[in-house]
Amino acid sequence: MTDPLTELLRRRDGPLTRDLVLEPGRFGLGRVPARLQPDDAVEMVCGYCSTGCSLKVHLRQGEAINLTPAPDYPVNLGMACPKGWEALTPLRAPDRATVPLRRNAAGKPEPVDWETALRTFCGRFKELLDRHGPEAVAFLSTGQIVTEEMAFLGVLTRCGLGIEHGDSNTRQCMATSAVAYKQSFGFDAPPYTYADFEASDVLVFVGSNLCIAHPILWQRVLRNPHSPEIIVIDPRRTETAMAATQHLALAPKSDLVLFYGTARALIELGAVDRAFVKAHTTGFDEFARFVQPFTPERVCAETRLSRETFDRFVGSVARGRRVSFWWTMGVNQGHESTRTAQAIINLALMTGNIGRPGTGPNSITGQCNAMGSRLFANITSLVGGHDFADPGQRQKVAAALDLPETRLPRQPCHAYDQILQGIDEGRVKGLWMIATNTAHSWIDQAEARRRLSRLEFLVVQDMYHSTDSARLAHLVLPAAGWGEKTGTFINSERRLGLVKKVARAPGQALSDFRIFQLIAHHWGCGEMFRAWSSPEAVFDLLRRVSRGQPCDISGIRDYAHLEACGGVQWPHALPADGGDPRCEAPARERRLFADGRFFTPDQRARFLFAPPRPMPEPTDAEYPLLLLTGRGSSAQWHTQTRTGKSDVLRKLHAPDAYAEINPADARRLGIADQKPMVIRSRRGTVRALAVVTPTVQPGHLFMPMHYAETNVLTRAEFDPYSRQPSYKACAVSARPA
Ligand code: SF4
């Protein structure tokens, strides 16, 4: 009889989509069986950003030769950005991790077989847990793996392996939105659908450079037939600000004051939807009293906006019949980000701009599956957004997942920064990093790297052996990437879409799902995960666990049904009579709260607010400039681990770190355009090419997040509610190199 582990390894990751039978090939796609047409194609959701475009992967004689955007998908309507067009290229990179690597006695990584890698993984982590308790090992994951893998990881670690804490890199981009919605609406529920971009008569973008960060969504804005007012609130004159009808170039981190002042001005103008506020919200009277001191004079003094600019903005919101507010990292990555997001939510609530076409306080997510992570990762809530402390919900989750209730965790995990802090404090000795690159992306990078290097055992599970984090690892587990495995993503507008396997992972690389199965088996808890036999089997578990939740997906019968519907936005519940959900195909575009009922116990939305706090690190004589960060171009993704592999994408952006500086500052400091300069903060010093441009205000520098240099400078500050890092503002100095 075959040993189950050997059997798992032998099966690898199952057949390709449409049962492609593979032979070893240059790129691993092999030959197409006779029953498939030479120019066959499969459609799947893109693996970069949260827009969730559908791409058509074309195959010829078994090779994926190209991609085109899917013409009929309700998200991208036949469009794709440069990253999408180049989505296959990173799979072919020469630095793919193809075999497990373990550091030898001399500290050099050397190839080992999977059996040895798994024995090492389990042996070292078990030893640390036995010696130091359940906090001694933690995990850090991602918004890039499929939902089924996220759920598996969260349940495996916290219910099976006895690891108490883990977090995901969605903490870096979306934790604020999740917490803000949860507190205001009773559930992490972005209310909108992408059709709202085309239905608004006023669109307000806050800290969002949609043109390059979400280019397909910007195309949706351009399709708006109502000649809308497009208002951008951003200290920089971004690409989006240049295309807007109004740009509020406010002082960095003064947005909370602006929104409280806007609320006050709207009350003065009588532009409050009193009927909606009375019927569907709580806390408005307290909020109205709270905003009284935020006079236009105070707003203009603190934001440095002119009175005319402020009044024009307020007037647009007051007059708009369908006003939508959209925010991304400019809000989420701040020291008081949750209250800022809720200040935006308050504006939508008080003006009744929610639940109708073209309205909403709408957070746009970053990573392709940040939304899957937010709901199903078993980190900040029990799987499916359930409450750790609610006995009824615990029973329900345990029954749906076929686990003993006593194995479910009782509290949320420590947040990312608390886990890294735990290394310094000696609580965390071992770390398992999955598809993320902490050594590059975390705030105050030198400190993060110092902490990682203190670990007794660091495992990195990734597509590439060359990332900054993989280079620090004691053990590297080679993982399959997007296109090499199956599962579902959930995009910004709550739409589930399918990811398919159209290529074999190289060498001995395995899907994250298969790696989790192998670890469960090798650890000795494989029996607990008997039902977790494939991504689609896990999808079925998640359907069941979601039943009755705001994010109910029980009405999506299986992957085939999901595909037939062209992606489905949650909720899509099984009909009450248990009938066939196929008979009730969901509308292609749906928004939440059309009935004014929220997910709080009294079904009312909350007005939440707090006094603004000063920026943690203001400029001074030694560090007189404020460093802003953000996306650099639509051709770059995060730490460039994947986009950096594409010759095409590399032609579309600057190769090396650069910083934008205002001409007045450049003149004063003797810094010349396209010449290197030295930028210093209290955390470190870097060199970057100067780009002299009036798009940044005097006194500011802007650096794209994609270059490792940027986080050498950033300062570790966190929003107290979401514990999201404040990447957006810290004090620096600059001089010619
Ligand atoms: Fe992919 Fe996002 Fe580009 Fe669409 S916009 S093709 S989802 S990276």
Candidate of 46, 491, 642 to mutate for ligand 1, largest count of ligand atoms within 8 Å of Cβ: 46
Structure tokens given for 363:
């957070």
Q: Which atom of ligand 1 lies at the shortest distance from residue 51's CA? A: 7
In this structure, are residues 323 and 317 in contact, taking their beta carbons and an 8 Å threshold?
yes
Nearest CA to ligand 1 atom 4: 53
From the CA of 52, give the closest atom in ligand 1. 7
In the reported structure, the alpha carbon of residue 209 is separated from the centroid of ligand 1 by a whole-number distance in angstroms of 15
Question: How far is it between the farthest Cα atoms of the chain?
Answer: 80
Q: Is the CB of 215 under 6 A from ligand 1?
A: yes
Residue 637 CA: which ligand 1 atom is closest? 8
342 close to 183: Cβ distance less than 8 angstroms: yes
Q: Which residues of 345-355 are buried (b: 16+ CB within 10 A; e: fewer)?
A: bbbbbbbbbbb
Tokens of 456: 């007794």
703 beta partners: 629
Q: Which residues contact 528 (CB under 8 A, 6 or more apart)?
A: 159, 160, 403, 407, 520
Mind listing the pLDDT tens digit for each residue in 67-116? 999 999 999 999 999 999 999 999 999 999 999 999 999 999 999 999 99
How far apart are the C-alpha atoms of 381 and 384, rounded to whole Å?
7
What is the structure's pLDDT at 4?
53
How is residue 403 written in tokens? Answer: 């686990």
User: 463 CA distance to ligand 1 centroid (A)?
Assistant: 20
Low-confidence ranges of the chain (pLDDT < 70): 1-39, 61-63, 578-585
* Helix, strand, coil percentages for the chain (3-state, nearest 5): 35, 20, 45
Ligand 1 contact, 413 CB (< 6 A) = no
Residue 481, CA atoms < 13 Å, CB-side half-sphere: 22
Question: Among 615, 606, 600, which Cα is nearest to 719's?
Answer: 615
Q: What angle do CA 406, 408, 411 make, to 5 degrees?
A: 115
Q: Is the CB of 566 under 6 A from ligand 1?
A: no
Among 499, 534, 502, CA closest to 517: 534
Cα 202-274-363 angle, rounded to 5 deg: 40
- Specify which residues 392 forms β-bridges with: none
To test the pocket of ligand 1, the residue of 44, 45, 50, 51 to mutate (highest count of ligand atoms within 8 Å of its CB) is 51
Closest C-alpha residue for ligand 1 atom 1: 84
**How many angstroms does the Cα of residue 215 sit away from the middle of ligand 1?**
8
Q: Cis peptide before 571, with omega less than 30 degrees from 0?
A: yes
**Residue 113: other Cβ atoms inside 10 A:** 12
**By three-state DSSP, how is residue 479 classified?**
strand
Secondary structure letter of residue 158 according to DSSP: I
Distance 374 CA to ligand 1 centre (A): 20
Listed residue (703, 710, 695) closest to 659, CA to CA:
703
What is the distance in angstroms between the CA of the first residue and the CA of the last residue of the chain? 68
Ligand 1 neighbourhood includes 645 CB (under 6 angstroms): no
Is the CB of 84 inside a 6 Å radius of any atom of ligand 1? yes
For the CA of 49, the nearest atom of ligand 1? 2
Cα of 90 to ligand 1 centre, how many Å?
15
Task: Indicate which residue's Cα is closest to atom 6 of ligand 1.
Answer: 84
Strands 41-45 and 484-490: unpaired
Q: Is 49 in the pocket of ligand 1 (CB under 6 A)?
A: yes
Instruction: Tell me, in angstroms, the distance from the centre of ligand 1 to residue 217's CA.
Output: 9
CB 124 within 8 A of CB 137: no
**Residue in this structure with the two tokens 């055992």, named with its chain if needed:** 457
How does DSSP classify residue 517?
H
Vertex 358 angle, CA 356 and 361, to 5°: 80
Closest of 66, 5, 91 to residue 507, by C-alpha: 91
With H, G, I as helix, E, B as strand and everything else as coil, classify residue 72.
Answer: coil
How many angstroms separate the alpha carbon of residue 145 from the centre of ligand 1?
16
Does residue 180 have its Cβ closer than 6 Å to ligand 1? no
pLDDT at 579: 66
54: CA distance to ligand 1 center in Å? 8
Running DSSP on this structure, what letter comes out for residue 144?
A: S
Q: How far is CA 162 from CA 252, 373, 379, 457, in A?
A: 43, 20, 14, 17
Place of tokens 């195959």: 59
The CB of 85 under 6 Å from ligand 1? The reply is no
How many angstroms does the Cα of residue 83 sit away from the middle of ligand 1? 6
With 0-12 CB in 10 A as exposed, 13-18 as middle and 19+ as buried, what is 127? Answer: middle
Rounded distance from Cα 55 to ligand 1 centre (Å): 9
Best of 48, 67, 217, 489 to mutate for ligand 1, by most ligand atoms within 8 A of CB? 48
- CB 48 near ligand 1, within 6 Å: yes
Contact 216 CB / ligand 1 (< 6 Å)? yes
Pocket lining: 497 vs ligand 1, CB cutoff 6 Å? no
Give the residue from 213, 481, 190 showing the smallest Cα distance to 362: 190
Q: What are phi and psi of 242, to 5 degrees?
A: -65, -30
CA distance 559 to 17: 12
**Interval between CA 50 and ligand 1 midpoint (Å):** 7
Calpha distance 640→705 (Å, rounded)? 10
Beta strands 676-680 and 685-692 are antiparallel
The residues facing 45 across adjacent strands are 54
Rounded to whole angstroms, how far apart are CA atoms 536 and 347? Answer: 41
Q: Calculate how far, in angstroms, residue 51's C-alpha sits from the geometric centre of ligand 1.
A: 6
Q: With pLDDT > 70 as the criterion, what percentage of the chain qualifies?
A: 93
Helix (H, G, I), strand (E, B) or coil at 223: coil
How far is CA 18 from its chain centroid?
A: 30
Q: Alpha-carbon distance 276 to 691, whole Å? A: 48
Helix residue spans in 223-336 (DSSP H): 239-243, 255-269, 274-280, 284-290, 296-303, 307-319, 329-332
Reading the block at residue 256, the tokens are 């909370």
Binding site membership of 440 for ligand 1 (Cβ less than 6 Å): no
Please indicate whether residue 81, judged by its CB atom, sits closer than 6 Å to ligand 1: yes
Q: Give me 596's structure tokens.
A: 């004014």
216 CA to centre of ligand 1 in angstroms = 7
Closest residue by Cα to atom 2, ligand 1, is 49
Q: Which is the closest atom of ligand 1 to the Cα of 217?
A: 5
Ligand 1 center–CA 597 separation, angstroms: 33
Helix axes 416-424, 445-453, angle to 10 degrees: 60
CA of 531 relative to ligand 1 center, distance in Å? 33
For residue 173, the surrounding DSSP H or E stretch is none
Closest atom of ligand 1 to CA, residue 76? 4
Alpha carbon of 437 to ligand 1 centroid (Å) = 21
Ligand 1 proximity of 642 Cβ (cutoff 6 Å): no
Tell me, using a 6 A CB cutoff, whether residue 46 lines ligand 1: yes
> Could you tell me the strand order of the sheet in which 568-569 lies?
484-490, 495-501, 568-569
Atom of ligand 1 at shortest distance to CA of 47?
A: 1
Q: Is residue 225 reached through a cis peptide bond, with omega within 30 degrees of 0 on the bond before it?
A: no
Residue owning tokens 């109708």: 356
Query: Amino acid letter at 283?
Result: G
Kind and range of the H or E run holding 355 = none
**Cβ-count burial 11-41 (b if 16+ within 10 Å, e if not):** eebeebbeebeeeeeeebbbebeeebeeeeb
Distances (CA, A) of 573 to 107, 181, 191, 673: 53, 21, 17, 57
Pocket test for ligand 1, best of 216, 633, 706 (most atoms within 8 A of CB): 216
For residues 55 and 330, give the distance between their C-alpha atoms in angstroms, rounded to a whole number. Answer: 29
Residue 52 CB less than 6 A away from ligand 1: yes
| 664-692 residues labelled b (16+ CB within 10 A) or e (exposed) | ebbeebebeeeeebebbbebbebebbbbb
Ligand 1 and 574: CB distance under 6 A:
no
Residue 38: per-residue pLDDT: 46
Ligand 1 neighbourhood includes 383 CB (under 6 angstroms): no
What are the structure tokens assigned to 634, written together?
A: 């639509």
In whole angstroms, what is the distance from residue 671 CA to residue 653 CA? 22
For residue 290, the SS3 value is helix
Centre of ligand 1 to C-alpha 220, Å, is 13
Structure tokens at 603: 């079904």
The structure tokens listed for 356 are 């109708």
CB of residue 83 inside a 6 A radius of ligand 1: yes
